[in-house]
Amino acid sequence: MAPAVIPGLNIPLLTGPLVLGYMWSYFLYGMLIVQVYMYCEAFPQDRLGIKALVWSMFILETGFSVLITIAALNAFGSGWGDPDTLREIDWTWVPMLALNAILAAMAQGFYSWRIWILTNQRLWFPILIGCVMLTQVTAAFYSGLVMAIGARSVSHLFALWPEITVWLSGSATCDLLITASLAYILTRHKRTSRYQHTTGLINKLIRFSVETGSVTSVAALVECTLWLSCRKWNIHYIFFFVLGRLYSNTLMATLNCRAPIFQRTSPAAITIPQSSFWAEPEIERSQSMNLNLVTRTNINGSRTTDGTTADDTIAMSNFDSNTDVIGVENGVAISEKRSPQLIG
């Protein structure tokens, strides 16, 4: 059967991207449900602020899914066959602008906070990222308010192309700044590390930061490019519906990568290293002091090695109270047993 033809309208290019956007958005929401469940199972003792961030994000994502469900019913249910439906913006799309910007800002704010911790509470990087983040959120909110107050037509949406362009380009710029900042800071930490295991962990963090940051950056850039080049069709809506979901899933992937299930050794044998990406300033200082103040008064003690290796992951177990960890050699944790005559 030939597709329906309406003068002045290309039906496949108007309805097809909407269908793909709805389906991919549901797919990413299902992935988010699984990731939130894994987070709750793996980190029940996580700090309250991170838990509040996760559940706030999940509630907003649920609300977004409800809105796209209503929009799909209005477009392909009650509005099926009505050409005016294709020329007007459904009311459910108005809060979607703000929700997408809020979800992006939540993920970007979390990474800015971690950058603040990694830089010993220096404000240069977080302030720069925060300014770009607030710019894209403000542009999205303004566009949503104008659409809510005025007429919800495609022509009015096209009139807001400067604000929407600022929102999309600002979101991509913020992601690129976060990725570049994390890579730079972690590279500096790697250069000062003396242990092979620590260097391997930092390399993993750098690679993971670049991968997660590139996903959202590319999606925002593609959405912005499609909006500027062919906004008279609905192709750009494919990424509009999934952009917020990508931010939520990458944030949850960052949190869940600490779980033992993602390590290469068995969960029973592994101790997850508390890297500076997650540690609080007090923990970082105490770990640094413990590393630098290792005493050599037990030089007459016997030297033993406890632990096994799997690639670059160290499994440390069976350390008793009379054993000091003095470092890592060739991926193996090295410890010294204190001589009883030297204690006390």
Average pLDDT score over residue span 23-44: 94
pLDDT of residue 156: 78
Give start and end residues of each alpha helix (H) in the chain.
11-42, 48-73, 83-87, 93-118, 124-149, 154-159, 161-191, 196-230, 237-256, 281-292
pLDDT of residue 124: 83
pLDDT of residue 262: 61
pLDDT of residue 206: 79
Contact 263, 47 (CB under 8 A): no
pLDDT of residue 5: 55
Q: What is the mean pLDDT of the chain?
A: 74
Distances in Å between the Cα of 228 and the Cα atoms of 158, 163, 254 are 10, 12, 32
Contact 36, 54 (CB under 8 A): yes
pLDDT band for position 233 (cuts 50, 70, 90): confident
pLDDT of residue 265: 44
Q: Give 248-282 pLDDT, tens digit per residue.
A: 999 999 899 887 766 554 444 334 444 444 444 44
Structural domains of the chain in order of their starting residue, each with its CATH number: 11-258 (1.20.1070), 298-342 (no CATH)
pLDDT of residue 133: 93
Amino acid at 141: F
Phi-psi region of 128 (alpha: psi -120 to 50; beta: other; left: phi over 0): alpha
pLDDT of residue 261: 63
pLDDT band for position 60 (cuts 50, 70, 90): very high
pLDDT of residue 263: 58
pLDDT of residue 190: 76
Q: Give 170-220 pLDDT, tens digit per residue.
A: 998 998 999 888 888 888 777 777 766 677 777 777 787 788 788 888 888
Average pLDDT score over residue span 232-258: 89
Average pLDDT score over residue span 326-338: 42
pLDDT of residue 8: 58
Q: Percentage of the chain with pLDDT > 90?
A: 26
Q: Which residue has the tokens 């200082």?
A: 285
Look at 129 and 311; give whichever has higher pLDDT. Answer: 129
Taking the model in full, what pTM does it have? Answer: 0.71
pLDDT of residue 264: 53
pLDDT band for position 293 (cuts 50, 70, 90): very low
First to last CA, the chain: 91
Q: How, if at all, do strands 313-315 and 323-329 pair?
A: unpaired
